[in-house]
Amino acid sequence: MNRNIACIGAGYIGGPTMAVIAQKNPDRKVIVADISQARIDAWNSDDLPIYEPGLQEVVASCRGKNLFFTTDVAAAIRECDIIFVGVNTPTKTFGAGAGYASNLQYWEAAARTILKEANGDKIVVEKSTLPVRTADSMAAVLHTHREYTFTVLSNPEFLAEGSAINDLLNPDRVLIGGPQDEQGKAAIDALVQVYATWVSRDRILTTNVWSSEMSKLAANAMLAQRISSINAFSALCEETGADITEVANVLGMDHRIGKYFLKAGPGFGGSCFKKDVLNLVYLCRSYGLHACADYWEQVVIMNDAQQERIVERTVKALFNTLAGKRMALFGFAFKANTGDTRETPALTVANLLAEEHADLVVTDPKALENAAKDLAHLPKVTFEPDPYLAATNVDAILVMTEWDCYKTLDWKQIYANMRQPALIFDTRNILDHAELKQIGFKVLAVGKII
């Protein structure tokens, strides 16, 4: 076996992950292959297809040396004996399981390309997030080859967007699941060697394949559940006068609860949490575990309700009508430090505001291009990179993304150029509410009465 590494899929996962692997393994050739010419062209340019702090520097340090981006998927498979599969696995929108199950068509196409192009034994590594027991299906596809042996490993990725490079360089853990026979253990060991160049051995966990696939779904479900739990309390805080930031602080100081993932807000967005929790719901249902399925589905239901509540409160604060009013959305990315808008709460809120016949102005430092695509169906929306211009003549501002640049704006100036009475809804609790109130704003925030 050679030491070269290929990755099928040059997206948010494939690109950054392979860039860090290449940087930390200068003696290995790393080829990232994708069917999208536009994506590959962007990876080969100075304008990378995704924004991620520190990514440009890592790519620049090894692209053209031992890191390559190509559309020639077949050649990448032939040249490399370790093949990661990092293709998209979105929620199915059709047929059985629509709205819940993962759409595995891209993943199966990748498996079939490996089968067709392989020129020797290969280690195939699932990097995409997949339903438990998918490795079985991948093995079933690959084992139809009589000449060569394929060992399927599960190596889910835990990085979060916006901090991908830091998460890859300093992971809490790297998880590798594989078959427990001789061949499986040798393959696991080969993959451990890739990560051991920068991750300490005690942080590299090896398990059976099913535990690995399950752990990824479980980790995302537990994190999403924490957000829905704190958001459920935020609604109750608004009714009772408790302050969600104070409550979260108290909870976080209990070391058994821990302080992370307790920020109330407009609910979780991003390409993973909703998709993976719904996939888990589908998995539970398909095993007849209906109480488990209902439990996890409630996490998504709570998340949707939080976004609806934000719009309901906005309508109420603006005298029960938004028709003809101008509303500025500050931030459209699903979180700060990314241009990704997949499943962003801002999209749901924008759609609900548009249903009330509001005119929208959207501003965001990195996500305006994606926002324009996401909102192309709305008749009355404009896009403005400058937040001061975005806020001019609007009735209300909804802060949807916790970008640092919004914390240092001159809110007095913004207030002066707004229609009166001016409303600001800080859905992320990042601003100084007392100061805003003093300036004259009517202030709404998630989980507090101001």
Residues forming the site for ligand UDX (CB under 6 A): 157-161, 220, 223, 227, 261-263, 265, 268-270, 272-273, 334-335
- CB of 157 or CB of 426, closer to ligand UDX: 157
Long-range contacts of 317-320 (CB under 8 A, 24+ apart): 317/396, 317/423, 317/425, 317/442, 317/444, 318/395, 318/396, 318/423
Q: What is the DSSP string of 164-228?
A: HHHHHHS-S-EEEE--SSHHHHHHHHHHHHHHTTTS-GGGEEEE-HHHHHHHHHHHHHHHHHHHH
129 forms part of the interface with ligand NAD (CB under 6 A): yes
In the complex, the smallest distance separating the C-beta of residue 164 from ligand NAD, rounded to whole angstroms, is: 7
Q: Does a cis peptide bond (omega within 30 degrees of 0) precede residue 421?
A: yes
Which is it for strands 381-383 and 326-330: parallel, antiparallel or unpaired?
unpaired
In the complex, the smallest distance separating the C-beta of residue 211 from ligand NAD, rounded to whole angstroms, is: 17
36 forms part of the interface with ligand NAD (CB under 6 A): yes
The answer to whether the beta carbons of residues 54 and 165 sit under 8 Å apart is yes
272 is catalytic: yes
**Can you tell me which residue has the tokens 């089968």?**
115
Which is it for strands 174-177 and 359-363: parallel, antiparallel or unpaired?
unpaired
With H, G, I as helix, E, B as strand and everything else as coil, classify residue 62. Answer: helix
202 Cβ neighbours under 8 A, 6+ residues apart? none
In the complex, the smallest distance separating the C-beta of residue 106 from ligand NAD, rounded to whole angstroms, is: 4
- CB of 28 or CB of 263, closer to ligand UDX: 263
What, of ligand UDX, ligand NAD, none, does residue 263 touch, CB below 5 to 8 Å by kind? ligand UDX
213 forms part of the interface with ligand NAD (CB under 6 A): no
From 128, 225, 303, 427, residue interacting with ligand NAD (rule: CB under 6 A): 128
Among 3-11, 189-197, 235-243, 384-392, the segment contacting ligand NAD (CB under 6 A): 3-11
Choose, from 7, 80, 272, 284, the residue flagged as catalytic: 272
Among 5-13, 187-195, 378-386, 416-424, the segment contacting ligand NAD (CB under 6 A): 5-13
- CB of 259 or CB of 380, closer to ligand UDX: 259
Burial of 139 (0-12, 13-18, 19+ CB in 10 A): middle
Rule CB under 6 A: which residues touch ligand NAD? 8-14, 34-36, 39, 73, 86-89, 106, 109-110, 128-129, 157, 159, 161, 271-272
Q: Catalytic amino acids?
A: 272
